[in-house]
Amino acid sequence: MALVPPSAAGPPLIAEVDMGASDLSSTVVRATVVQASTIFYDTPATLGAPSVSSFYLHRLYVGALQRCIIDLGSSFALNFVEAFDVVIFIYGLMLPLKSSLADKAERLIAEAASYGAQIVVFPEAFIGGYPHGSTFGITLGNRTAKGKEEFRRYHASAIDVPGPEVDRLAALAGKYKIYLVMGAIERSGYTLYCSVLFFDSQGQYLGKHRKLMPTGLERAIWGFGDGSTIPVFETPIGKIGAIICWENRMPLLRTAMYGKGSLETDGRDVEKHYYVGIEIYCAPTVYDRKDWQASMTHIALEGGCFVLSASQFCRRKDYPPPPDYVFVAAAEEPSPDTVICAGGSVIISPSGQVLAGPNYEGEALISADLDLGEIVRAKFAFDVVGHYSRPEVLSLTVKDHPQDPVSFTSTARTESTPK
């Protein structure tokens, strides 16, 4: 296992760990996982200049990465493989995608692209942030004034989809010719959603997945997604989709991803369903416990797919100091170096082999080559929605249309009227 050397333009933002070459007799996709600390700050919901406080935190972030690179050492060896590249960014919380955060995202994407990455995966809530340790002043039957103000700030840090931040991300994907899978807190009116945004290498926004089932107290701050946002996208580097954190433990949702298909029309104008099925299964998360690895391995085996789980890595010092930000659930205020989320990002093959990670040591960029032929070999033995299914006994129906709480018949008539 070797570390990739600095580029000619200077030292890499994050060192890459090369897991070695794969057999190139079939199509190969390279996967890279970036694990780094987080920035948590509050700025106006615009693409303006960073505030003084965000600039200060940005400097802290750069310093932390410099320390990480120094700790990793300066002896690097380069081993490039001609392959598609997948990059998973393991980060902590980001509030929000304004100028300084967007600049950080570009630096990381550029660094991944310099290694030849063609798909870059970020963790859950990279944009907008995951509020570790906060309760937003909620107790049964009550919300405090301070908690309401915390939510106002959190709401201001989220992004509109579509919106200027989405346009910026699309431009970055096009600029660096990568497929981008980005965790974000989405603002829709006054409701927030934990979402994943997808972009292609031509700079086009493809769509989103909204977290179908928030976990625990997340349900007090995030809305619930519906069946209209569980896409699987066909791309030249494989069929890509994402499920967020603990919703990966929902068997029926996983099955929907395995069997996700499309409609095509034959020569007689008869619609026929054809099986797409996920091949590159992205699992952004903030869950760093060791049992997560068992879940990811099971999904790879069950779905016959590659699993790319991107988790955060952050410490207490990556959040604003008290009293601006308090870890309410902690028995006492954590020390600045206390690890809040320890990473654990991992890349796993359809045979259940761990190709890269998990890493719990700190910030890192980890690579593995994905031989897409492994998918066929795995599904030869077990295809959960193909030859190993029994639809006459067990089947799943997915309601994949939007579940809007309010609809207007006049709007429907207007939209259906030919122009």
* H helix intervals, 27-129: 52-72, 99-114
Mapped onto helix, strand or coil, the DSSP state of residue 381 is helix
- Rounded Cα distance between 81 and 95, Å, is 35
Decide: residue 291, CB within 10 A, 0-12 exposed, 13-18 middle, 19+ buried.
exposed
Name the amino acid, one letter, at 259. Answer: G
Pairing of the two strands 191-199 and 179-188: antiparallel
Mapped onto helix, strand or coil, the DSSP state of residue 359 is strand
Tokens of 95: 């509030």
Tokens of 400: 């994949």
Report the C-alpha dihedral over residues 247, 31, 36, 116, rounded to 10 degrees. -140
User: E-strand spans in 229-285?
Assistant: 232-235, 238-242, 261-265, 271-275, 280-282
- Rounded Cα distance between 389 and 362, Å, is 41
CB 194 within 8 A of CB 244: yes
Which of the following is catalytic: 16, 124, 279, 374?
124
Name the amino acid, one letter, at 147. Answer: G
- Rounded Cα distance between 243 and 93, Å, is 18
Q: 332 catalytic, yes or no?
A: no
Rg (CA), the chain: 21
- Rounded Cα distance between 7 and 80, Å, is 13
CA angle 363-186-326, nearest 5°? Answer: 60
Backbone angles phi, psi at 127, to 5 degrees: -100, 130
* H helix intervals, 259-408: 291-303, 373-381
> Which residues are part of the catalytic machinery?
124
